[in-house]
Amino acid sequence: MDRAQIPLPVLEAAIGVVLLTALALLLVTGVPSQNTADPQLEAYAQDVATLLGNEPPRHANETRLSELAASPGAFEREQAALQRRIERLLTANLFYQVQTPHGRIGHRLPQSVRTGSATVPTAHGPVTIRVWYG
């Protein structure tokens, strides 16, 4: 009865080889990273949102962004000034779009472009800033 029987050590070695190879492959190929967010773009958007979100308003409300989101009239009044302000803050190679409850400011967002975004909650609704490389 000692025929047709694989010696146990060889069986164990085979299992060990499979395990080790799997481990090595995992390390070599690595876990696929999610490339949806570019940290640099995220940082640009976050910085602009932080700066505008802490800036005093031009006329009323608490901050510049809450002033923008307050009403359609305030949005109409403030959009040109905010546009100038953001264009001054961002470097020339960056495009941007600001989304408020009353409309959008900035460039048209192209499809399938990698963007960084930051949302500031205000008393009158969220204001989202998106930036991307032009």
Partner 1 sequence: MRAQTTLPVLGVALVLISAVSLIAVQASSSSLERASEPALDRATAIALSERLVSNGTDLTVRANVLNRSRFDRIDERFLRENLSVRNDTAVRIRVGNRTLVESGAVAGGTSFERIVLTRTTQRRERYPTVDAGEAVTIPRRVTAVDITLAPDPNASVRTVLAGDRVVLRNESGLAGQYRVRISRFVTTPMTFDAIGTLDRGDVVLRYAAPVTRKATLEVTVDG
Maximum pairwise Cα distance, the chain? 96
Beta 103-106 vs 115-122: how paired, if at all? unpaired
Total residues at the site for partner 1 (CB under 8 A)?
33
Q: How many CA atoms lie within 13 A of 95 on its CB side?
A: 11
Contact between 51 and partner 1 per CB under 8 A: yes
Contacts of 113 (CB under 8 A, 6+ apart): 132, 133
Query: Closer CB to partner 1, residue 105 or residue 131?
Result: 131
Q: Note whether 47 binds partner 1 by CB under 8 A.
A: yes
When asked if residue 81 is in the footprint of partner 1 (CB under 8 A), the reply is no
Q: What is the Cα–Cα distance from 37 to 93, expressed in whole angstroms?
A: 18
Query: How far is the C-alpha of 22 from the C-alpha of 25, rounded, in Å?
Result: 5
> For residues 43 and 123, which CB has a smaller minimum distance to partner 1 in the complex?
43
User: Quick one: how far is CA 80 from the chain centroid?
Assistant: 25
CB of 111 to partner 1, least distance (A): 26
- Any contact of residue 24 with partner 1 (CB under 8 A)? yes
Out of 37, 43, 80, 123, point to the residue binding partner 1 (CB under 8 A).
43
Q: Which of 36, 81, 88, 100 binds partner 1 (CB under 8 A)?
A: 88
Residue 106 CB coordination number (10 Å): 19
Binding site for partner 1 (CB under 8 A): 1-2, 5, 7-10, 12-13, 16-17, 20-21, 23-24, 27-28, 30, 39-40, 43-44, 47-48, 50-51, 54, 56-57, 88-91
